[in-house]
Amino acid sequence: MDPPSLINGGSFPSANASSYGLTEIWPFPLNGGGVGGVLGLRSNHLAGYVETRGTGIVNRDVLVDESTITEQSESRGGARRKRRDATSEDESSKLVSTSSDNDMQKNSGGKRQKVSGSGDENGDSKADVESNSGTDNKQAEQSMQPSERPKQDYIHVRARRGQATDSHSLAERARREKISERMKILQDLVPGCNKVIGKALVLDEIINYIQSLQRQVEFLSMKLEAVNSKISPSIKDFGAQTFDTTAMAFNSQAAREYVQGSPQEWLHMQVGSGFERAT
């Protein structure tokens, strides 16, 4: 049992977490709050920074404010020692809340204390600082991960082994799958397109097919124009025949019902208004 290492293990996460908590909890744009947040964050950086540099700057700050800090650090140390057995994340978060409360009550003291804590630990042992900086990184990663998860849920694509997992490539993969699916639908629609391999050739087939269909429509409209003029005098025996042929042309029952009405309607229109006047 060496007390300094234990204290370090307890105190470091709380210091870091309080620095995170300060910026979140402190909603006021007060000078003290802003400085506190900045100082807290800086203490994180200092933990890594001091590894190389030593404890020069930080310890000076500690010495200046030592008189105000000592009692607080003592009380906190006691609290930490009570809880040191259970060092789960929940416990550390509780510590965070208490420490941040203290900070809110006493602005300058709280700020200084964080710096002093990191300074003292750096003075104690470098190995501890390294391990703690490792945990710092882990904590940073943990805090980053929840923000990324919703994005991944958003796209509903799962990456297979060896595929890229960032959101852009996931979206791109989803888009490509959609395109290939639609290409397949189009291939089913266009006759003779199933044998063709390659996106460009399939597109060629599709374009040709649409062009041919549009040309057919044009041709048929010309044909209908010619035919329409020919058929119009013998409109009398038209209704029944139209009914038969169009009914044969339609497969579904609903369509047949629909068309049963239409030729008669047409007959009425033609016979009633247009052609009796003409004849």
Binding site for other proteins (CB under 8 A): 175, 178-179, 182-183, 185-186, 188-190, 199-200, 203-204, 206-207, 209-211, 213-214, 216-218, 220-232, 241-242, 245-246, 249-252, 254-255, 258-259, 261-263, 265-266, 269-270, 273-275
Place of tokens 């290409």: 183
Residue 38 to residue 36: CA distance in whole angstroms: 5
Residues 63, 115 contacting (CB under 8 angstroms): no
The residue among 26 and 209 lying less far from other proteins, judged by its C-beta, is 209
Considering beta carbons, is residue 98 or 241 the nearer one to other proteins? 241
As measured in angstroms, the least distance from the Cβ of 166 to other proteins is: 21
Query: 149 vs 230, which CB is nearer to other proteins?
Result: 230
Residue number, 5 or 270, with CB nearest to other proteins = 270
Residue 21: CB minimum distance to other proteins, A:
45
Question: Measured between alpha carbons, how far is 150 from 129 in angstroms, rounded to an integer?
Answer: 34
| Closer residue to other proteins, CB minimum distance, 3 or 198 | 198
Residue at token pair 């629909």: 258
18 Cβ contact partners less than 8 Å away, ≥ 6 residues apart = 40, 96, 99, 100, 103, 110, 114
* 3-class state of residue 186 by DSSP: helix
Structure tokens at 59: 């310890």
Residue 44 is given by DSSP the state H
Smaller CB separation from other proteins, 129 or 202: 202
Shortest separation between residue 242's beta carbon and other proteins, angstroms: 6
Q: Name which of 130 and 181 has its Cβ closer to other proteins.
A: 181
Return the C-alpha torsion angle 117, 123, 127, 130, nearest 10.
50
Long-range Cβ pairs for the range 248-252 (8 Å, 24+): none
Kindly state the smallest distance separating residue 8's Cβ from other proteins, in Å. 56
Total Cβ atoms within 10 A of residue 170? 20
What is the smallest separation between the CB atom of 226 and other proteins, expressed in angstroms? 8
- Answer yes or no: are the C-beta atoms of 37 and 23 closer than 8 Å: yes
Instruction: Output the six-digit token pair for 43.
Output: 């203490």
